[in-house]
Amino acid sequence: MSLYQLQKFLYVLNRDEQAQRQYKADPDGLLSGYQLTDEEAGALKNGDIGLLYVLGVNGQILMHYAAFLGIEWFDYLDLMREGIRRHGPVRAGVYAMTGGGASFAVEETER
């Protein structure tokens, strides 16, 4: 896996408006500049928050990316939990899930 390259892609995308435009118009072209596995490239192309979380992407850049994709906050949390269900525990990095997957905010549980 190439977690560094994966996170570098998101770091650039989060701060570069030209990269953001290219991501929407020509994702393959933008992705070709990075050394990624097929799984990683697919996750980025599909905006697969759950898989990116499991692959170990830093939560802060993942959160910015989700906002860029227009994903609402509670949906973002659910997508990460779904990623754990589908793919198993976080494989790398410090952003592992340490709770049982339940919500901590009444605003989420009562929505």
Partner 1 sequence: MSLVYAGVLSHAPGITGRAHLVKDTAKRDELYAHFEQQRCEIEATGPDALVVIAAEHFANFFMNNMPAFCIGMAETYEGPIEDPAWLRIERRRIPGAPDLSRRLVREVMQTVDTAYAEEWKFDHGIMVPLHFLTPEYDLPVIPVNINCQGPPLAPLHRAWAFGEALRRACDSVPERIALVGTGGISHWPATPDSGKINEAWDRDFLDRLMRLDRDALLSYTDEETYRDAGQGGFEIRTYIAAAAAAGGPGELQYYTPDLPIFAVACTVARFDIA
Which residues lie near partner 1 (CB under 8 A)?
4, 7-8, 11, 14-15, 53, 58-64, 67-68, 73, 77, 80-81, 84, 94-99, 101, 103-108, 110
Nearer to partner 1, 25 or 94 (CB): 94
Three-class secondary structure of residue 95 per DSSP: coil
Give the span between the Cα atoms of 59 and 63, in whole angstroms. 6
Shortest distance, position 58 Cβ to partner 1, whole Å: 6
CB 55 within 8 A of CB 40: yes
* Closest by CA position to 10, among listed 100, 49, 79, 74: 49
CB of 29 to partner 1, least distance (A): 21
- Distance in Å, CB of 109 to partner 1, minimum: 10
Is 10 or 30 the residue whose CB approaches partner 1 more closely? 10
Contact residues for 64 (Cβ-Cβ < 8 A; gap 6+): 10, 14
